[in-house]
Amino acid sequence: MPHLIVTGRDGQTRRIEYRPSRALSDALHEGGYMELRALCGGCMTCATCHVYVDPRSPASRPPFGELEGIVIGGLAAPRENSRLACQLVLTAAEDGLALTIPPEG
């Protein structure tokens, strides 16, 4: 089964498995990362599923769309590798994707 390498807010890094065709936010919840709240259910209105995707990861991600960019631009600490986990649908190609859940705020 494909896996993600996740660094949580506590600084601990764990490997979690995921099922392809699921949103990254769902995979993180299934892996026990409940600090990633994803309150809006994927509507891109809350940004509580904000993550930093490691640009060196084996899986490359498409750039975010206009609306996702607007939401990310309103965050306190956006980075070039910021993404909304609700907008990333995982496939087998993301096996080994590394990401960090940023500090809340």
pTM of the model: 0.91
Long-range contact pairs involving 56-65 (C-beta distance under 8 Å, separation at least 24): 56/98, 57/96, 57/97, 57/98, 57/99, 58/95, 58/96, 58/97, 59/93, 59/94, 59/95, 59/96, 59/97, 61/88
- Domain 3-100, what architecture? Roll (3.10)
Please write the tens of the pLDDT for every residue from 4-57: 999 999 999 999 999 999 999 999 999 999 999 999 999 999 999 999 999 887
User: What is the pLDDT at residue 77?
Assistant: 80
Structure-block tokens of residue 89 = 């649908």
User: What is the pLDDT at residue 80?
Assistant: 87
Cα 43 to chain centroid, rounded? 15
Please write the tens of the pLDDT for every residue from 54-102: 988 766 566 788 999 999 999 988 998 999 999 999 999 899 999 999 9
Ordered by start, the domain boundaries in the chain are: 3-100
Q: Is-contact 30 85, C-beta < 8 A?
A: no
